[in-house]
Chains A and B, each alone.
Chain A
Protein backbone atom coordinates (compact mmCIF):
# COMPACT_ATOMS: atom_id res chain seq x y z
CA UNK A 1 0.00 0.00 0.00
CA UNK A 2 1.67 3.11 -1.15
CA UNK A 3 2.12 5.64 1.63
CA UNK A 4 -1.32 6.49 2.74
CA UNK A 5 -0.69 9.55 4.64
CA UNK A 6 0.13 13.05 4.49
CA UNK A 7 1.73 15.43 6.81
CA UNK A 8 0.61 18.58 8.02
CA UNK A 9 0.97 21.23 10.30
CA UNK A 10 1.60 24.63 10.92
CA UNK A 11 5.01 26.09 10.89
CA UNK A 12 4.51 28.89 13.19
CA UNK A 13 7.65 30.90 13.19
CA UNK A 14 9.12 33.68 11.23
CA UNK A 15 12.46 33.34 9.60
CA UNK A 16 13.54 31.60 12.71
CA UNK A 17 17.20 31.97 12.10
CA UNK A 18 19.32 34.97 12.17
CA UNK A 19 17.88 37.02 15.01
CA UNK A 20 20.71 36.03 17.26
CA UNK A 21 23.27 36.69 14.56
CA UNK A 22 21.80 39.93 13.37
CA UNK A 23 24.12 42.78 14.25
CA UNK A 24 22.04 45.89 14.61
CA UNK A 25 23.89 49.19 14.87
CA UNK A 26 24.49 50.37 18.45
CA UNK A 27 21.28 51.48 20.05
CA UNK A 28 20.82 55.24 20.02
CA UNK A 29 17.69 55.01 22.07
CA UNK A 30 16.24 52.51 24.45
CA UNK A 31 12.86 51.98 26.05
CA UNK A 32 12.57 49.58 28.96
CA UNK A 33 9.12 48.12 29.51
CA UNK A 34 9.10 47.05 33.14
CA UNK A 35 7.12 43.84 33.56
CA UNK A 36 8.12 42.82 37.10
CA UNK A 37 9.04 44.42 40.35
CA UNK A 38 12.44 46.07 40.15
CA UNK A 39 12.99 45.84 43.90
CA UNK A 40 15.86 43.38 43.52
CA UNK A 41 17.66 44.72 40.44
CA UNK A 42 21.26 45.87 40.76
CA UNK A 43 22.43 49.45 40.45
CA UNK A 44 24.41 48.34 37.41
CA UNK A 45 21.23 47.16 35.70
CA UNK A 46 19.66 50.54 36.32
CA UNK A 47 22.74 52.47 35.20
CA UNK A 48 22.82 50.54 31.90
CA UNK A 49 19.50 52.19 31.21
CA UNK A 50 20.50 55.66 32.27
CA UNK A 51 19.43 57.15 28.95
CA UNK A 52 16.36 54.97 28.57
CA UNK A 53 12.80 55.92 29.00
CA UNK A 54 10.75 53.65 31.21
CA UNK A 55 7.26 52.39 30.69
CA UNK A 56 5.13 50.01 32.71
CA UNK A 57 1.92 49.34 34.54
CA UNK A 58 1.39 51.54 37.59
CA UNK A 59 1.92 48.62 39.95
CA UNK A 60 5.40 48.05 38.51
CA UNK A 61 6.40 51.69 38.35
CA UNK A 62 5.54 52.19 42.02
CA UNK A 63 8.76 50.36 42.87
CA UNK A 64 11.01 52.29 40.51
CA UNK A 65 14.30 53.44 42.01
CA UNK A 66 14.15 57.08 43.03
CA UNK A 67 17.19 57.82 40.86
CA UNK A 68 15.00 57.65 37.75
CA UNK A 69 13.41 61.03 37.05
CA UNK A 70 9.66 61.01 36.60
CA UNK A 71 10.01 62.81 33.29
CA UNK A 72 11.49 59.58 31.89
CA UNK A 73 8.66 57.38 33.15
CA UNK A 74 5.51 56.60 31.21
CA UNK A 75 2.76 54.70 33.03
CA UNK A 76 0.21 52.25 31.60
CA UNK A 77 -3.15 52.54 33.29
CA UNK A 78 -4.03 49.22 34.98
CA UNK A 79 -7.00 50.21 37.17
CA UNK A 80 -4.95 49.97 40.37
CA UNK A 81 -6.10 53.51 41.12
CA UNK A 82 -8.93 55.66 39.79
CA UNK A 83 -8.46 57.56 36.55
CA UNK A 84 -8.72 60.82 38.48
CA UNK A 85 -5.95 59.74 40.85
CA UNK A 86 -3.88 58.70 37.82
CA UNK A 87 -4.25 62.15 36.27
CA UNK A 88 -3.17 63.80 39.52
CA UNK A 89 -0.17 61.54 39.98
CA UNK A 90 1.16 61.92 36.44
CA UNK A 91 0.68 65.61 35.93
CA UNK A 92 3.23 65.84 33.12
CA UNK A 93 1.36 63.49 30.79
CA UNK A 94 -0.58 65.06 27.93
CA UNK A 95 -4.37 65.07 28.21
CA UNK A 96 -4.81 63.56 24.75
CA UNK A 97 -8.32 62.10 24.82
CA UNK A 98 -11.03 64.23 26.46
CA UNK A 99 -12.60 62.43 29.40
CA UNK A 100 -9.82 59.86 29.72
CA UNK A 101 -7.87 61.61 32.49
CA UNK A 102 -4.49 61.20 30.75
CA UNK A 103 -4.83 57.39 30.66
CA UNK A 104 -4.52 57.36 26.86
CA UNK A 105 -1.64 59.29 25.34
CA UNK A 106 1.31 59.12 22.98
CA UNK A 107 4.87 60.31 22.86
CA UNK A 108 7.67 60.28 20.30
CA UNK A 109 11.15 59.06 21.13
CA UNK A 110 13.80 58.73 18.46
CA UNK A 111 12.23 56.95 15.51
CA UNK A 112 9.58 55.55 17.83
CA UNK A 113 6.04 56.61 18.41
CA UNK A 114 4.68 55.15 21.62
CA UNK A 115 0.95 54.86 22.23
CA UNK A 116 -0.53 54.00 25.61
CA UNK A 117 -4.19 53.00 25.73
CA UNK A 118 -6.62 52.72 28.61
CA UNK A 119 -7.29 48.97 28.60
CA UNK A 120 -10.43 49.25 30.71
CA UNK A 121 -12.17 51.41 28.11
CA UNK A 122 -11.22 49.69 24.87
CA UNK A 123 -14.77 49.76 23.55
CA UNK A 124 -14.91 53.56 23.85
CA UNK A 125 -14.59 54.80 20.27
CA UNK A 126 -13.13 58.18 21.30
CA UNK A 127 -9.89 56.46 22.20
CA UNK A 128 -9.72 54.69 18.82
CA UNK A 129 -10.59 57.77 16.82
CA UNK A 130 -7.79 59.65 18.55
CA UNK A 131 -5.41 56.77 17.94
CA UNK A 132 -6.25 56.65 14.23
CA UNK A 133 -5.69 60.38 13.86
CA UNK A 134 -2.39 60.35 15.73
CA UNK A 135 -1.01 57.35 13.86
CA UNK A 136 -1.41 59.28 10.60
CA UNK A 137 0.32 62.43 11.87
CA UNK A 138 3.88 61.66 10.91
CA UNK A 139 6.37 63.88 9.12
CA UNK A 140 8.47 60.81 8.48
CA UNK A 141 7.82 57.14 8.98
CA UNK A 142 8.31 55.97 12.56
CA UNK A 143 8.03 52.64 14.30
CA UNK A 144 4.72 52.60 16.15
CA UNK A 145 4.45 50.65 19.39
CA UNK A 146 1.32 50.30 21.48
CA UNK A 147 1.08 49.49 25.18
CA UNK A 148 -2.13 48.31 26.79
CA UNK A 149 -3.42 46.30 29.71
CA UNK A 150 -6.67 44.82 28.40
CA UNK A 151 -8.31 42.49 25.94
CA UNK A 152 -8.34 43.40 22.26
CA UNK A 153 -10.95 41.85 20.01
CA UNK A 154 -10.63 40.87 16.34
CA UNK A 155 -11.85 44.18 14.95
CA UNK A 156 -9.41 46.08 17.18
CA UNK A 157 -6.54 44.00 15.85
CA UNK A 158 -7.65 44.76 12.32
CA UNK A 159 -7.75 48.50 13.08
CA UNK A 160 -4.26 48.38 14.57
CA UNK A 161 -2.98 46.53 11.53
CA UNK A 162 -4.43 49.16 9.22
CA UNK A 163 -2.90 51.91 11.37
CA UNK A 164 0.44 50.23 10.75
CA UNK A 165 1.17 49.69 14.42
CA UNK A 166 4.32 47.56 14.44
CA UNK A 167 4.07 45.95 17.87
CA UNK A 168 1.65 45.67 20.77
CA UNK A 169 2.66 44.93 24.35
CA UNK A 170 0.09 43.46 26.73
CA UNK A 171 1.52 42.12 30.02
CA UNK A 172 3.58 39.02 29.15
CA UNK A 173 2.48 39.06 25.54
CA UNK A 174 4.15 40.62 22.58
CA UNK A 175 2.43 40.95 19.22
CA UNK A 176 4.04 42.15 16.01
CA UNK A 177 2.81 42.63 12.49
CA UNK A 178 4.18 39.63 10.61
CA UNK A 179 5.21 41.59 7.56
CA UNK A 180 7.35 44.00 9.60
CA UNK A 181 9.55 41.34 11.13
CA UNK A 182 12.92 40.42 9.74
CA UNK A 183 13.76 37.67 12.24
CA UNK A 184 12.80 36.22 15.60
CA UNK A 185 14.85 34.03 17.88
CA UNK A 186 12.20 31.68 19.29
CA UNK A 187 8.99 30.03 18.20
CA UNK A 188 6.13 32.28 17.40
CA UNK A 189 2.40 31.82 16.90
CA UNK A 190 1.80 33.35 13.52
CA UNK A 191 -1.89 34.23 13.53
CA UNK A 192 -4.09 34.38 10.48
CA UNK A 193 -4.98 38.04 11.02
CA UNK A 194 -1.47 39.19 10.13
CA UNK A 195 -0.20 39.38 13.70
CA UNK A 196 2.47 37.22 15.25
CA UNK A 197 2.02 36.42 18.92
CA UNK A 198 4.55 35.43 21.54
CA UNK A 199 3.89 34.82 25.20
CA UNK A 200 6.63 34.40 27.74
CA UNK A 201 6.54 33.59 31.42
CA UNK A 202 8.42 35.41 34.14
CA UNK A 203 9.58 38.24 31.89
CA UNK A 204 11.33 40.99 33.83
CA UNK A 205 11.45 43.50 31.02
CA UNK A 206 11.06 44.09 27.33
CA UNK A 207 14.02 46.04 25.99
CA UNK A 208 13.17 48.13 22.95
CA UNK A 209 16.30 49.34 21.19
CA UNK A 210 16.71 51.36 18.08
CA UNK A 211 19.07 53.43 16.03
CA UNK A 212 18.30 55.43 12.93
CA UNK A 213 15.83 53.24 11.14
CA UNK A 214 16.52 49.96 12.97
CA UNK A 215 14.49 48.48 15.78
CA UNK A 216 14.73 45.35 17.88
CA UNK A 217 12.79 44.14 20.88
CA UNK A 218 14.03 41.59 23.35
CA UNK A 219 12.35 39.96 26.32
CA UNK A 220 14.60 39.38 29.30
CA UNK A 221 14.22 37.04 32.26
CA UNK A 222 15.08 38.07 35.84
CA UNK A 223 18.54 36.59 35.31
CA UNK A 224 19.08 38.75 32.23
CA UNK A 225 18.72 35.89 29.77
CA UNK A 226 17.21 36.83 26.42
CA UNK A 227 13.99 34.86 26.04
CA UNK A 228 12.92 36.32 22.72
CA UNK A 229 14.44 38.73 20.25
CA UNK A 230 12.57 40.34 17.40
CA UNK A 231 14.34 42.30 14.70
CA UNK A 232 12.26 44.54 12.47
CA UNK A 233 12.84 45.43 8.85
CA UNK A 234 14.51 48.84 8.73
CA UNK A 235 12.19 51.76 8.18
CA UNK A 236 13.98 52.60 4.94
CA UNK A 237 12.94 49.19 3.57
CA UNK A 238 9.40 49.57 4.86
CA UNK A 239 9.07 52.91 3.11
CA UNK A 240 9.99 51.41 -0.21
CA UNK A 241 6.96 50.74 -2.30
CA UNK A 242 6.43 47.12 -3.16
CA UNK A 243 5.33 45.81 -6.46
CA UNK A 244 3.16 42.74 -6.87
CA UNK A 245 4.45 40.01 -9.13
CA UNK A 246 1.82 37.33 -9.81
CA UNK A 247 3.35 33.88 -9.86
CA UNK A 248 0.05 32.02 -10.27
CA UNK A 249 -3.14 33.89 -11.09
CA UNK A 250 -6.76 33.02 -10.41
CA UNK A 251 -8.34 31.02 -13.19
CA UNK A 252 -5.14 29.18 -14.09
CA UNK A 253 -5.03 25.66 -15.47
CA UNK A 254 -4.20 23.16 -12.73
CA UNK A 255 -3.34 19.49 -12.65
CA UNK A 256 -5.83 17.77 -10.38
CA UNK A 257 -7.24 14.45 -9.24
CA UNK A 258 -9.74 13.20 -6.71
CA UNK A 259 -8.35 11.92 -3.45
CA UNK A 260 -8.25 8.21 -2.71
CA UNK A 261 -5.94 5.69 -1.08
CA UNK A 262 -3.76 5.44 -4.19
CA UNK A 263 -2.43 8.97 -3.94
CA UNK A 264 1.29 8.74 -3.16
CA UNK A 265 1.81 10.33 0.24
CA UNK A 266 4.84 10.05 2.48
CA UNK A 267 4.69 10.77 6.18
CA UNK A 268 7.84 12.64 7.23
CA UNK A 269 9.43 11.32 10.40
CA UNK A 270 10.49 14.69 11.78
CA UNK A 271 7.10 16.29 12.29
CA UNK A 272 4.48 16.01 15.00
CA UNK A 273 1.56 14.15 13.42
CA UNK A 274 -0.89 15.44 16.01
CA UNK A 275 -0.24 18.99 14.86
CA UNK A 276 0.16 20.28 18.40
CA UNK A 277 3.75 21.35 17.88
CA UNK A 278 4.97 23.57 15.06
CA UNK A 279 7.23 22.25 12.35
CA UNK A 280 10.67 23.46 13.29
CA UNK A 281 12.72 21.48 10.80
CA UNK A 282 12.70 21.46 7.03
CA UNK A 283 10.67 18.64 5.52
CA UNK A 284 12.22 16.65 2.68
CA UNK A 285 9.85 14.46 0.72
CA UNK A 286 10.80 11.87 -1.90
CA UNK A 287 10.12 12.64 -5.56
CA UNK A 288 7.41 9.98 -5.47
CA UNK A 289 5.29 12.12 -3.11
CA UNK A 290 2.53 14.07 -4.87
CA UNK A 291 3.70 17.31 -3.23
CA UNK A 292 7.27 17.09 -4.46
CA UNK A 293 8.40 19.75 -6.90
CA UNK A 294 9.53 17.15 -9.41
CA UNK A 295 6.66 14.69 -8.96
CA UNK A 296 5.45 13.45 -12.35
CA UNK A 297 1.71 14.04 -12.57
CA UNK A 298 1.23 13.34 -16.29
CA UNK A 299 -1.74 11.10 -15.56
CA UNK A 300 -3.55 13.72 -13.56
CA UNK A 301 -6.39 15.69 -15.15
CA UNK A 302 -5.99 19.27 -16.28
CA UNK A 303 -8.59 21.96 -15.91
CA UNK A 304 -9.09 25.65 -15.52
CA UNK A 305 -9.98 26.92 -12.07
CA UNK A 306 -12.35 27.35 -10.33
CA UNK A 307 -12.51 23.57 -10.15
CA UNK A 308 -15.24 21.91 -8.15
CA UNK A 309 -18.73 20.55 -8.12
CA UNK A 310 -21.03 22.61 -10.29
CA UNK A 311 -24.30 23.32 -8.55
CA UNK A 312 -26.34 25.74 -10.64
CA UNK A 313 -28.40 27.20 -7.83
CA UNK A 314 -25.45 28.20 -5.69
CA UNK A 315 -22.24 30.15 -6.00
CA UNK A 316 -20.78 26.95 -7.44
CA UNK A 317 -22.19 28.04 -10.79
CA UNK A 318 -18.88 29.85 -11.29
CA UNK A 319 -17.03 26.53 -11.49
CA UNK A 320 -15.10 26.27 -14.78
CA UNK A 321 -14.04 22.65 -14.48
CA UNK A 322 -16.62 20.37 -12.88
CA UNK A 323 -15.43 17.30 -11.02
CA UNK A 324 -17.48 14.46 -9.49
CA UNK A 325 -16.64 15.64 -6.01
CA UNK A 326 -19.48 13.67 -4.43
CA UNK A 327 -17.39 10.52 -4.84
CA UNK A 328 -14.66 11.44 -2.39
CA UNK A 329 -13.99 13.77 0.52
CA UNK A 330 -10.93 15.36 -1.10
CA UNK A 331 -9.23 16.57 -4.27
CA UNK A 332 -5.56 17.33 -4.99
CA UNK A 333 -4.13 20.14 -7.10
CA UNK A 334 -0.69 20.98 -8.53
CA UNK A 335 0.65 24.03 -10.30
CA UNK A 336 4.20 25.05 -11.19
CA UNK A 337 5.65 28.53 -11.56
CA UNK A 338 9.03 30.10 -12.24
CA UNK A 339 11.02 32.28 -9.86
CA UNK A 340 14.21 33.74 -11.30
CA UNK A 341 15.80 34.88 -8.05
CA UNK A 342 13.98 34.23 -4.76
CA UNK A 343 16.39 36.52 -2.90
CA UNK A 344 14.94 39.51 -4.67
CA UNK A 345 11.46 38.82 -3.32
CA UNK A 346 10.28 40.79 -0.29
CA UNK A 347 6.96 39.16 0.41
CA UNK A 348 4.69 36.30 -0.56
CA UNK A 349 0.92 36.06 -0.44
CA UNK A 350 -1.37 33.12 -1.08
CA UNK A 351 -4.99 33.64 -2.09
CA UNK A 352 -7.36 30.69 -1.97
CA UNK A 353 -11.00 30.04 -2.83
CA UNK A 354 -12.13 26.86 -1.13
CA UNK A 355 -14.86 24.74 0.39
CA UNK A 356 -14.55 23.44 3.05
CA UNK A 357 -10.88 23.26 4.08
CA UNK A 358 -7.42 23.13 2.50
CA UNK A 359 -3.74 22.49 3.13
CA UNK A 360 -1.19 24.23 0.87
CA UNK A 361 2.41 23.20 0.29
CA UNK A 362 5.23 25.06 -1.37
CA UNK A 363 7.77 22.69 -2.87
CA UNK A 364 6.50 19.94 -0.57
CA UNK A 365 6.48 21.92 2.67
CA UNK A 366 3.31 23.09 4.33
CA UNK A 367 2.80 26.83 4.20
CA UNK A 368 -0.85 27.33 5.10
CA UNK A 369 -4.04 25.54 6.05
CA UNK A 370 -7.55 26.63 6.86
CA UNK A 371 -10.78 24.91 7.82
CA UNK A 372 -9.13 21.62 8.68
CA UNK A 373 -7.55 20.25 11.84
CA UNK A 374 -3.79 20.58 12.25
CA UNK A 375 -1.66 17.48 12.01
CA UNK A 376 -1.66 14.53 9.69
CA UNK A 377 -4.21 14.57 6.90
CA UNK A 378 -5.16 11.67 4.65
CA UNK A 379 -7.36 11.66 1.53
CA UNK A 380 -10.26 10.62 3.76
CA UNK A 381 -9.79 13.51 6.22
CA UNK A 382 -12.82 15.73 6.63
CA UNK A 383 -12.73 19.50 7.04
CA UNK A 384 -14.75 21.66 9.37
CA UNK A 385 -18.16 22.58 7.92
CA UNK A 386 -17.82 25.99 6.27
CA UNK A 387 -19.55 28.18 3.78
CA UNK A 388 -17.47 28.45 0.59
CA UNK A 389 -14.66 30.97 1.11
CA UNK A 390 -13.70 33.24 -1.78
CA UNK A 391 -10.26 34.65 -2.43
CA UNK A 392 -9.07 34.66 1.17
CA UNK A 393 -5.60 36.17 1.57
CA UNK A 394 -2.79 34.59 3.55
CA UNK A 395 0.57 36.22 4.15
CA UNK A 396 3.21 33.51 3.74
CA UNK A 397 6.29 35.72 3.57
CA UNK A 398 8.00 33.61 6.23
CA UNK A 399 8.06 30.77 3.69
CA UNK A 400 10.08 32.69 1.11
CA UNK A 401 13.01 30.45 1.99
CA UNK A 402 11.12 27.51 0.52
CA UNK A 403 11.34 28.95 -2.98
CA UNK A 404 14.12 27.93 -5.33
CA UNK A 405 15.54 29.54 -8.44
CA UNK A 406 13.75 28.01 -11.41
CA UNK A 407 10.64 25.87 -11.25
CA UNK A 408 8.62 25.82 -8.03
CA UNK A 409 5.42 23.97 -7.29
CA UNK A 410 2.38 24.94 -5.26
CA UNK A 411 0.30 21.93 -4.25
CA UNK A 412 -3.01 22.11 -2.46
CA UNK A 413 -5.33 19.47 -1.06
CA UNK A 414 -8.96 20.47 -0.57
CA UNK A 415 -11.27 18.57 1.76
CA UNK A 416 -15.02 18.58 2.18
CA UNK A 417 -16.70 18.53 5.59
CA UNK A 418 -18.80 15.46 4.77
CA UNK A 419 -18.19 12.66 2.26
CA UNK A 420 -21.56 13.27 0.61
CA UNK A 421 -21.42 17.06 0.61
CA UNK A 422 -22.14 18.40 -2.87
CA UNK A 423 -20.15 21.58 -2.61
CA UNK A 424 -16.46 21.58 -3.35
CA UNK A 425 -14.63 24.47 -4.94
CA UNK A 426 -11.02 25.43 -5.47
CA UNK A 427 -9.01 28.23 -7.02
CA UNK A 428 -5.75 29.81 -5.91
CA UNK A 429 -3.25 32.50 -6.71
CA UNK A 430 0.19 33.26 -5.38
CA UNK A 431 1.70 36.75 -5.48
CA UNK A 432 5.29 37.75 -4.78
CA UNK A 433 6.24 41.25 -3.64
CA UNK A 434 9.34 42.91 -5.02
CA UNK A 435 10.92 46.26 -4.34
CA UNK A 436 9.74 48.84 -6.81
CA UNK A 437 12.59 50.33 -8.77
Chain B
Protein backbone atom coordinates (compact mmCIF):
# COMPACT_ATOMS: atom_id res chain seq x y z
CA UNK B 1 0.00 0.00 0.00
CA UNK B 2 2.89 2.32 0.91
CA UNK B 3 4.58 1.73 -2.43
CA UNK B 4 1.35 2.48 -4.27
CA UNK B 5 0.97 5.69 -2.29
CA UNK B 6 4.46 6.85 -3.24
CA UNK B 7 3.91 5.85 -6.85
CA UNK B 8 0.72 7.90 -6.87
CA UNK B 9 2.54 10.91 -5.41
CA UNK B 10 5.33 10.64 -7.98
CA UNK B 11 2.79 10.46 -10.81
CA UNK B 12 1.00 13.55 -9.48
CA UNK B 13 4.28 15.45 -9.30
CA UNK B 14 5.22 14.43 -12.83
CA UNK B 15 1.86 15.42 -14.24
CA UNK B 16 1.76 18.79 -12.51
CA UNK B 17 5.42 19.36 -13.34
CA UNK B 18 4.73 18.81 -17.03
CA UNK B 19 2.01 21.38 -17.14
CA UNK B 20 3.59 24.44 -18.65
CA UNK B 21 2.53 27.97 -17.84
CA UNK B 22 3.27 28.79 -21.46
CA UNK B 23 0.59 29.72 -23.92
CA UNK B 24 0.38 27.64 -27.05
CA UNK B 25 0.99 29.25 -30.40
CA UNK B 26 -1.18 28.53 -33.41
CA UNK B 27 1.47 27.46 -35.84
CA UNK B 28 2.53 25.00 -38.46
CA UNK B 29 5.96 24.03 -39.73
CA UNK B 30 6.90 22.55 -43.11
CA UNK B 31 10.55 21.68 -43.76
CA UNK B 32 11.78 21.88 -47.35
CA UNK B 33 15.25 20.88 -48.59
CA UNK B 34 16.71 24.37 -48.03
CA UNK B 35 14.13 26.30 -46.04
CA UNK B 36 11.88 25.97 -43.07
CA UNK B 37 8.39 27.25 -43.81
CA UNK B 38 6.67 28.57 -40.69
CA UNK B 39 3.00 29.49 -40.63
CA UNK B 40 1.99 31.98 -37.96
CA UNK B 41 -1.69 31.17 -37.59
CA UNK B 42 -2.22 33.54 -34.69
CA UNK B 43 -4.13 36.78 -35.01
CA UNK B 44 -1.04 38.74 -34.01
CA UNK B 45 2.52 39.26 -35.16
CA UNK B 46 4.95 37.17 -33.12
CA UNK B 47 7.64 39.22 -31.41
CA UNK B 48 11.04 38.21 -29.99
CA UNK B 49 10.86 34.90 -31.77
CA UNK B 50 13.33 32.05 -31.27
CA UNK B 51 13.13 29.04 -33.57
CA UNK B 52 15.24 26.03 -32.60
CA UNK B 53 15.93 23.05 -34.83
CA UNK B 54 16.76 19.73 -33.18
CA UNK B 55 17.41 21.52 -29.89
CA UNK B 56 20.67 22.98 -31.17
CA UNK B 57 20.37 25.34 -34.11
CA UNK B 58 18.71 28.63 -33.32
CA UNK B 59 17.40 31.57 -35.27
CA UNK B 60 16.19 34.71 -33.53
CA UNK B 61 14.03 37.31 -35.26
CA UNK B 62 12.42 40.37 -33.70
CA UNK B 63 9.13 39.82 -35.52
CA UNK B 64 7.46 37.08 -37.48
CA UNK B 65 4.33 38.20 -39.35
CA UNK B 66 1.04 36.41 -39.75
CA UNK B 67 0.86 33.84 -42.51
CA UNK B 68 3.65 31.81 -44.07
CA UNK B 69 7.32 32.72 -44.11
CA UNK B 70 10.23 30.70 -45.50
CA UNK B 71 13.53 30.89 -43.59
CA UNK B 72 16.75 29.55 -45.07
CA UNK B 73 18.52 26.92 -42.95
CA UNK B 74 21.58 29.16 -43.21
CA UNK B 75 19.86 31.46 -40.72
CA UNK B 76 19.94 28.71 -38.06
CA UNK B 77 23.23 28.23 -36.22
CA UNK B 78 24.58 26.46 -33.14
CA UNK B 79 26.71 27.96 -30.37
CA UNK B 80 29.83 27.42 -32.47
CA UNK B 81 28.32 29.50 -35.23
CA UNK B 82 27.82 26.57 -37.56
CA UNK B 83 24.79 26.68 -39.81
CA UNK B 84 22.24 23.93 -39.79
CA UNK B 85 22.78 21.38 -42.56
CA UNK B 86 19.72 19.24 -43.00
CA UNK B 87 20.09 15.48 -43.17
CA UNK B 88 18.20 13.40 -45.67
CA UNK B 89 15.28 13.27 -43.23
CA UNK B 90 15.32 16.97 -42.43
CA UNK B 91 14.73 18.46 -38.98
CA UNK B 92 13.42 16.06 -36.34
CA UNK B 93 12.18 18.70 -33.94
CA UNK B 94 11.36 22.38 -34.31
CA UNK B 95 10.50 24.54 -31.33
CA UNK B 96 9.18 28.08 -31.60
CA UNK B 97 9.11 30.37 -28.59
CA UNK B 98 7.63 33.83 -28.61
CA UNK B 99 7.85 36.40 -25.83
CA UNK B 100 4.84 38.55 -25.08
CA UNK B 101 6.58 41.75 -24.10
CA UNK B 102 3.58 43.05 -22.15
CA UNK B 103 2.68 40.02 -20.04
CA UNK B 104 6.29 38.72 -20.02
CA UNK B 105 4.86 35.29 -20.80
CA UNK B 106 6.35 32.86 -23.23
CA UNK B 107 4.27 31.17 -25.89
CA UNK B 108 5.48 27.99 -27.48
CA UNK B 109 4.93 25.60 -30.33
CA UNK B 110 6.72 22.30 -30.78
CA UNK B 111 6.74 20.36 -34.03
Contact = CB atoms under 8 A, between A and B. Distances in A.
B61 A4 contact: yes
A260 B71 CA distance: 9
Contact of B67 (A328, A381, A419): A381
Given A274-B44, A378-B63, 16 more contacts: A4-B62, A5-B62, A267-B63, A273-B63, A274-B45, A275-B66, A373-B67, A375-B65, A376-B63, A376-B66, A382-B69, A418-B37, A418-B70, A419-B34, A419-B35, A419-B37
A377 interface: yes
Interface residues of B, number: 21
Contacts of A375: 45, 65-67
B98 interface: no
Contacts of A273: 44-45, 63, 65
A232 to B, nearest CB: 37
B75 interface: yes
Contacts of A260: 72
Interface string B30-46: 00111101000001110
Nearest to B70: A419
Interface of B: 32-35, 37, 43-45, 61-72, 75
Nearest to B61: A4
7 contacts: A261-B75, A273-B45, A328-B72, A376-B65, A378-B65, A381-B67, A381-B69
A274 to B, nearest CB: 6
B47 to A, nearest CB: 9
Given A329-B70, A420-B32, A420-B35, A5 B63 contact: yes
Contacts of A378: 61, 63-65, 69
Given A376-B45, A419-B34, A419-B37, A274 B66 contact: yes
A1 interface: yes
A70 to B, nearest CB: 52
A382 B37 contact: yes
> At the interface, is chain A mostly helix, strand, loop or mixed?
loop
Contacts of A373: 65-67
Interface string A262-295: 0000010000011110000000000000000000
A380 interface: yes
Interface in A377-395: 377-378, 380-382
Contacts of B64: 378
A414 to B, nearest CB: 14
Given A274-B43, A375-B45, A420-B35, A380 B71 contact: yes
Given A273-B45, A420-B34, A1 B65 contact: no
Nearest to A3: B62
A380 B45 contact: no
Nearest to B35: A419
Nearest to A376: B65
Closest 3 CB pairs of A and B: A419-B70, A419-B35, A376-B65
A358 B6 CA distance: 62
Contacts of B67: 373, 375, 381-382
Interface string A341-369: 00000000000000000000000000000
A328 B70 CA distance: 8
Nearest to A1: B62
Contacts of B70: 329, 380, 382, 418-419
Interface in A397-426: 418-420
B63 A4 contact: yes
Interface string A200-233: 0000000000000000000000000000000000
Nearest to B47: A273
A418 B63 CA distance: 20
Contacts of B72: 260, 328, 419
A305 B43 CA distance: 37
A418 B33 CA distance: 12
A23 B43 CA distance: 42
B66 A419 contact: no
A420 B34 CA distance: 8
A275 B64 CA distance: 13
Contacts of A267: 63
B90 to A, nearest CB: 13
A380 B70 CA distance: 5
B22 to A, nearest CB: 22
Nearest to B64: A378
Contacts of A1: 62
